Amino acid sequence: MPTIHVIAMSNQIEANEIEQLETAPSVDSGIVGDLLIGELDSWHVGICKIEKDGGDLLVCGETGQVVERVDTDVWTTSAIIEDTEVKSLAEIADTINSAIESECGDL
């Protein structure tokens, strides 16, 4: 059985550390998959909103402007079954998180 280590943390966190925690991108492959298959209409991260537009995912900024259009077909790999696309959801999530970091950094 593995040993569990508990680390005590201070209750005092600098204001900029709190801001970084609140604005850190949190889009993962599961969220990307849910957006692509229509389980989610959109996903909000800080000031950004991610939504599906056809086969692409849009990263929209605070005022609704498109910060980045992520073409999900770029990360399509070979099909396992005929007429079935397999996408690298982790790569798509990384691209979205980079766009969010960039948008938050510009503020």
How many other CB atoms are there within 10 angstroms of residue 65's CB atom?
A: 8
- CA neighbor of 67 nearest in space, from 107, 23, 22, 102: 102
User: Could you list the mean pLDDT of each consecutive 10-residue stretch along the chain, which spans 107 residues?
Assistant: 38 45 70 92 89 93 91 73 77 92 75
Q: What is the pLDDT of residue 77?
A: 67
d(CA 74, CA 52): 15
Q: What is the pLDDT of residue 75?
A: 67
**Residue 3, phi then psi, degrees to nearest 5:** -85, 135
d(CA 45, CA 24): 8
pTM > 0.75: no
Contact by Cβ (8 Å): 23, 46: yes
